[in-house]
Structure 1
Amino acid sequence: MEKPLEQLLYRTRWLLAPIYLGLAFALLALIIKFFQESFHLLIDVVHMSEAKMILSLLTLIDLAMVGGLIVMVLMSGYENFVSQLDLDGEKEKLSWLGKMDSSSLKGKIAASIVAISSIHLLKVFMNVQNTDEDKIYWYVVLHLTFVGSAFAMGFLDFKAKHK
């Protein structure tokens, strides 16, 4: 009785596969939004102020970072929780693939969230004249919360590995 139950539980990891496939579709949606933003930038670049252009570029950078985060979670999560990727003979294998356990994946996600939050905060500061002071305060508090959380997770991970 125990062996079949354990095998069934082990095989349920495949229930995560559609979620990772969904992340691939989310990446496709992000690509569409990236090119939409790029198109708007190219059309309006002559009439844009420097600050508005920088805000548009920061949006593109932000979208690129979110895309990288999606790829990292998609590939590492699949490999860590569902099945190892069979990439023998693949010339362009990502160097980090197969080397990132769930602990290091959490650290990378936390660092990515801090970087994305930094870009959002920079966008708020670039548009400070049109942003409510109370809103700026909460953006800073939220960003510092992300930074503190990432630091705490890294510290706890460091302590766990060096016991």
Structure 2
Amino acid sequence: MKQIEKNFEHLLFSSRWLMAPVYFGLVLAMLVLLVKFTKEVWGLFAGIMTATGGELITGVLSLVDIALIMNLLIIIMFSGYENFVSKMDDLHSHQDRPDWMGHIGFSDLKVKLIGSIVAISGIELLKAFMNVDDLSDRHLGWMVGIHVTFLFSGVLYALMDKLGSKH
């Protein structure tokens, strides 16, 4: 019976490697976002002479939005892999290794995730306000409501994290 328990625990522990393809999928998602970023930059420069100031600002905000999402994916990939799959021991001495790598726990990851979502939501809301004439009041109301919900959730996450770390 002890051997069955040992084998089962080994199987459970090894199952963490099922997450590796998920993290590789996020790398592929970054490639898709890079294509989208390139398309946005191309469109921004193609219309530079005819675009209004609002259109240029919206274009730049779209670039910032994509950059934030890609940064978020890197944080999720690195910290998720190191927290749940395997340590990246060979990279500890790499000169370009980010300082935060290996130090972000699951709790930190949740707070960074919600913070990024709030920032991305804020950018989307700002882009909507730049094109306020094209959107209904109802649509804008929903966007503001969703953003406030994300913001409130972020504050609650941070508060819970702070309260949890005291105990």
Question: Which structure 2 residues correspond to residues 95-134 of structure 1 after superposition, within 5 A?
Answer: 95-134=99-138
Offset, 1:89: 3.4
Q: Does 1:89 align with 2:93?
A: yes
State the percentage of identical aligned residues.
Answer: 39
Name the structure 2 match of 1:135: 139
Name the structure 2 match of 1:9: 12
In structure 1, C-alpha distance between the alignment counterparts of 2:126 and 2:77, rounded to whole Å: 27
The RMSD of aligned alpha carbons is: 0.8
Q: Deviations over 1:20-67 (max 9, x none)?
A: 000000001000100000001101111100011100000000000000
Q: How many residues align?
A: 163
Q: Structure 1 88/154 Cα, relative in aligned 2: closer, same or farther at 3 Å? A: closer
Q: Does 1:43 align with 2:46?
A: yes
Question: Which amino acid letter does the alignment assign opposite residue 138 of structure 2?
Answer: D
Indicate which of 126, 146, 153 corresponds to 2:150: 146
Compute the TM-score of the two structures, normalised by the length of structure 2.
0.95
Offset, 1:131: 1.1
In structure 2, C-alpha distance between the alignment counterparts of 1:5 and 1:131, rounded to whole Å: 55
Question: Which amino acid letter does the alignment assign opposite residue 153 of structure 1?
Answer: Y
Name the structure 1 match of 2:78: 75
Indicate which of 27, 41, 55 corresponds to 2:58: 55
Question: Which amino acid letter does the alignment assign opposite residue 102 of structure 1?
Answer: F
Runs of 4+ in 1 over 4 A off after TM superposition: none
* Unpaired segments ≥5 residues, structure 1: none
